[in-house]
Structure formats: structure tokens, C-alpha cells
Chain A
Amino acid sequence: MSVLLECKNLSHRYGKKVALDDVSFQMESGKIVGLFGPNGSGKTTLIKKIVGLLQDEEQAIKIDGDPVGEKTKAIVSYSPDRLAFDGERKVTDLLDFYELMYDDFDRGHAEEALAGLGIDTGEYIGKMSKGTGEKTQIILVMSRNAKLYVLDEPFSGIDPVARETVIKIMLQNMPEDASILLSTHHIQETEQILDEAIFIKDGKLVFHKSVEKVREESGRSLSEAYMEVFR
């Protein structure tokens, strides 16, 4: 398997505050990787660097061999940690937007997935519940045939049943050679689908291992290992 995402000595500061400190890891294609850490540990900063919302002047990140830019944005599908669509827009407007802006967007697939969840394409985003809005966002993001899906807290504000549905959407829509970088606090629900886990604390990488190895080494589940590291 080839290296899809590479971070080498990645650092970031917000003024004097260090948000990321010399983080290095590699992510292969075809993997689902969980990004875990307490609030303020640097997960969202790392994700923002990967998707290009924060500048990477040192070019510490390479995606499919290229530094973050126009080229990498075309192969990365990103879902922010909150609903990023204007409430005045209808779902159909968002479908139009994705269809126009992304060549790899599969509209038919998105409409099918939306209908499967009973989401009306004529509905305004602002009138939806938080959970329905999040589901819509995930469907749109996952309906792209991207190489890397970066999902920041996709389960926030979603009930357990819907969470299961979102996981299903993720797995069904993910192309075989694509990868998912998933930042979440819901370790138990996602543990079974993860190949690897990255633990991050105070902007520093604690470890990056396969989930199986974590279980083997610690003799515990990933969520228990998380509690041990961050408690």
C-alpha cells in the first residue's frame, strides 16, 4: 500500500500557544484511521492543516506526494466539526454546489443516500435538526470519489441510532483504495471499523499504531487504552 498522507515535523502556533508540536506520521491508502485526543489537544488544528485551512509554509504535509494546495484539495473530501452550510440553502442547492465544484461527486449516489435516510432535498438546512444537518453533510462529503476523507467530529449532536447510520454511510461510500481520517470522541462506536489510531495530547503525538497492536500490547480495548493515556 502506498503512503497517502505524510506529516513530517509538523508544528503550528496560535500566537504564543503551541497547538501542534513536531508531529510526524504516515497514513497509507485504504486505511481508516482514528484521530483521538482530549479537547484542545490539536486534532482540529492538524485537520485544518491537512485540508489547507491553515497555512503549511514548511510544506510539512504531503498528500499523495504533493504539498497541500489546489492539487491535494481535489482529492481530499472534508467535513468540518460543525455544520458548514448556510441555513438559507436547500439540500438541492448543496447538491448543485457539490456537483458543479467537484468532478468526482456522485449526485445519484448522494440523492439515493438522502432518500434512504428520509431527508427531503427540498428542505432548508436551517429548518433541519442538528443531527439531520450533520447526516446531510456527511452524505455530501462521502458522495465524492475522493482519495482521502477527513471527517472532524462527524458524530457530534447525532443520536446513537443515527451514528450507526452515519458509520454505514461512510463504509458504503468509501472507495476501496481511499482512506478516512476520522477525528472523534466516540471511540467505542468506531473502534470496530478502525485500522489504525493516532493519539494526540497537548499538540504532541502520543502514538500511531494499528488498533490490533494497541489491543495486543495493552490487552485492552482502544477506548480503555484511551482512558489510560488521557486520564
Chain B
Amino acid sequence: MKKKLMKQEIRETKKWIMLIYACIVIMSIVTMITALIAMNTKSVTAEELMVVFLLCAMMGIVVVGIVMAGRFYDLLFTEEGMIRLTLPVKNRAHLQTNVKLGILSIYLAIVIYTAVIGIMDNGNVFLVGELYQGLKGYYEMYLTDGVVLKALLTTICSVLAGAVVIANYYITFLFALAVSRRIVSKHGIMQKKGVIFIVGMVLFNIQLLVIWGITKLIEVIEADLSWYPLRSYRPVGRLSFIDFLRYDSEGIWIKDVLFGLIFLAVYGITALVMYRICRNIMERKLEV
């Protein structure tokens, strides 16, 4: 039954999603063409246009998320939900399907975007390749052994962290809708869009706080690891892990991986918590 639900959701959203994917491809191509024109002619207008097209292409990724979250909104807040929520599946199956499909659609949009930009930019498939090349070049200046592997590990960690952050943002969308539905039902509030707006704004600000918090934490760690002078001579083998990060050149890439892991942990755990609360609302508290 879950497979059927997934098939139905794909059927319902594919027209819009395909259209947005096509727009992303077109916008990315136009971005790169205007970038080429800007480079060759030094035209300011072309440069500005490039930024506009680039933003449009990136907006496509956000729109994919909005379309998919829109399906969840329809489920919880429109008459359509009366039919969909009486389907012979557990209520949480609707959430699970939407989370899977929504996140996958967004990832696919990002892959399309980065692939088009990457191919047009010196044939470098995906911007991930560029990230890896950059890291490799950087590590080659400081490290001697296993630079390729280390750059690869850091790249994987960064991409994973990015993927988890994006998944977290999407789940925040659904979380806002599920919590709003619960508030609306529990207190019999008629202004449902107002409730969604308030809950959305609160969560948006919490997300900003989280970003600020993580950035500050990383800044503090970086400052702590960089500024302490070595108090006395110690052989490398006897350095603590913190001192190793401070004084050994190998610490450079470990720090990069660690920062990626911090993002991964914070966003991963909060996404899981929000998902569990959503699931609980869907299963035990949902009333439409």
C-alpha cells in the first residue's frame, strides 16, 4: 500500500516537478551563457543578468520544495485531505512518503543544477568535483601523505552535511504544517493560514539561531585551536588530540571533517526530532 501511495504522489507531482526541472536546466544554461558574455565583453549588464539567472535557477530548487510541501499542506488543510486521510494506510505513511519524495526531488534538482553549471564550466561535471579539486590543492600545500583520500573524505563529509541541512529545512516545512494543524484543531482556530505563518516565522527564527550558534561554535573552536602557543616541547607522539589539531599540519583536514560532522550532528538530530514529533501528530493527534 505504501508503494501505491508513493506511486500516486509521483503521479500527482510529476508534471510540476518536471516543469521546474526544465526551468532549472534552462536557467542554468542561460546563467553560464551570460557569464561567458560577461567575461568576454566585461559588460556590467551581463554580469548583473548572470546573477539574476543564477538566483532564478537556485529558486527552482526552493520551488521544488514548496511544491512537495504543498502536497502535505493539501493533506492537512484542504478538503482533499478528507479523501487522502481515509485511504487504507496509517496516517504516518503520508508523512513518510512526502518526506522521502520531497527530499529526493530537492536533491535531484540540486544534482541537475550543479551538473548543468558544472558541465558548462570547463566540463567539470558537478560542482562537487570543483570542491574536491579546491580541497586537494589546499591540502597539497600543507600535507604530504594521502592528500587524495583526505580531500575525498572532507568532500564526502561536506556533501553529506549539506544534504542533511537541506533535509532538515524540508522537514522543518512539514513540521511547521503538522504543528499548525495540531494547534488549529486543538483550539478550534479558524485562521489557519495565520497560525501557519506564526509557527513558520518562529521556526525560521530558530533555524537562524541554530546557524548563528553553529557558526559561533566553529569560530570559537577554530580560535581556540589556532591561538594557543606551545608551552613546552613535547614529541608529536605525546600530543593530546587537541594539541594535535593545534600544532600538527594533519589537523587541518581533521578540523574540516569535524566541522562538517558538527553540522551533520546538529541538523541531523534536530531533523530526526522534528520528524518524530510530526509522526506522532500524524498518528495520534491528527484531526481534520
Chain A bound to chain B? yes
- Which residues does A use to contact B, with CB under 8 Å? 14-15, 17, 48, 51-55, 57, 69-71, 73-74, 76, 78, 80, 82-86, 96-97, 100-102
The verdict on B4 contacting chain A, using a C-beta distance below 8 Å, is yes
B187: A residues at CB distance < 8 A = 15
The reply to whether B285 and A55 contact each other, CB–CB distance below 8 Å, is yes
B89: A residues at CB distance < 8 A = 70, 73
The reply to whether B86 and A85 contact each other, CB–CB distance below 8 Å, is no
The verdict on A69 contacting B79 (CB below 8 Å), with A55-B287, A100-B7 known, is: no
The reply to whether B90 and A69 contact each other, CB–CB distance below 8 Å, is yes
Within the assembled complex, what's the spacing in Å between the Cα atoms of A48 and B286?
A: 12
Interface residues of B, CB < 8 Å — how many?
Answer: 25
Other contacts beyond A80-B79, A84-B79: 5, CB < 8 A: A53-B86, A53-B287, A74-B88, A83-B79, A85-B79
The verdict on B85 contacting chain A, using a C-beta distance below 8 Å, is yes
Report B73-122 residues with CB < 8 Å from chain A CB: 74, 78-80, 82-83, 85-90
The verdict on B284 contacting chain A, using a C-beta distance below 8 Å, is yes
The reply to whether A53 and B85 contact each other, CB–CB distance below 8 Å, is yes
Chain B residue at minimum C-beta to C-beta distance from A74: B88
Q: Choose one: A14, A69, A101, A102; the contact of B188 (CB below 8 Å).
A: A14
The reply to whether A17 and B287 contact each other, CB–CB distance below 8 Å, is no
User: Would you give 6 A-B contacts (Cβ < 8 Å), ordered by A?
Assistant: A53-B85, A53-B287, A53-B288, A70-B90, A80-B79, A86-B80
- Chain B nearest CB, measured from A144 CB (Å): 11
The reply to whether B88 and A73 contact each other, CB–CB distance below 8 Å, is yes
The verdict on A51 contacting B4 (CB below 8 Å), with A80-B79, A82-B79 known, is: no
- Chain B nearest CB, measured from A142 CB (Å): 14
The verdict on A78 contacting B88 (CB below 8 Å), with A55-B285, A86-B74 known, is: no
B 245-288 binary contact with A (CB < 8 Å = 1; else 0): 00000000000000000000000000000000000000011111
The verdict on B45 contacting chain A, using a C-beta distance below 8 Å, is no
B 137-163 binary contact with A (CB < 8 Å = 1; else 0): 000000000000000000000000000
The verdict on B226 contacting chain A, using a C-beta distance below 8 Å, is no
The verdict on B215 contacting chain A, using a C-beta distance below 8 Å, is no
The reply to whether B188 and A84 contact each other, CB–CB distance below 8 Å, is no
The reply to whether A84 and B287 contact each other, CB–CB distance below 8 Å, is no
Chain A residue at minimum C-beta to C-beta distance from B89: A70
- Chain B nearest CB, measured from A159 CB (Å): 22
Within the assembled complex, what's the spacing in Å between the Cα atoms of A85 and B288?
A: 16
Chain A residue at minimum C-beta to C-beta distance from B74: A86
Within the assembled complex, what's the spacing in Å between the Cα atoms of A74 and B87?
A: 7
The reply to whether B188 and A55 contact each other, CB–CB distance below 8 Å, is no
